[in-house]
Amino acid sequence: MFIMALLLILAACSDIQKMEIETVLDARNSAVSAGNINAYSRLLMKSYKDGDQDKFDVVSKMLRLFRQFDAMEMKTFNRTIRILDDSHAQCEQIYHLRVKADNTWREMNQREQILLTRTPAGWQISGGL
């Protein structure tokens, strides 16, 4: 009976963590679609690192995209979240990005793998962009 109760508690914790992560990833979609660089930047850890890119590089690249296009829309699909341990998670998803320039919309779909880390402020993106 104790083991069953423990398993139920662990499953509930995992579900709560996944919901919190979903909120972060959905906020990224909203920030990109709104062209809101401040909201986008807040989702990334200060210590973000992916290969040779740090947070400054990723935010700068996104700011250039916001300036380059008249409008952007981002949606994600087929999201799979894996809780790796108490502080780390991985998300695989497909994103659909539409960008508008010169009154023409261009579209692309791409699969991505995002790493997230739980911080005192909540889950934040720590790699994969």
- In the chain, where the domains are located: 2-127
- pLDDT category of residue 14 using cuts at 50, 70 and 90: confident
Angstrom distance (rounded) from CA 50 to CA 57: 10
Q: What is the CB neighbour count within 10 angstroms for residue 96?
A: 14
Q: Which of the four CATH numbers 2.30.30.30, 3.30.160.20, 3.10.450.50, 2.60.34.10 does domain 2-127 have?
A: 3.10.450.50
Note the pLDDT of residue 7: 40
Q: Model pTM?
A: 0.87
At 54-99, the pLDDT tens digits run 999 999 999 999 999 999 999 999 999 999 999 999 999 999 999 9
Dump strand ranges (E) for the chain. Answer: 49-50, 53-54, 71-85, 88-101, 104-119, 122-127
At 35-58, the pLDDT tens digits run 999 999 999 999 999 999 999 999
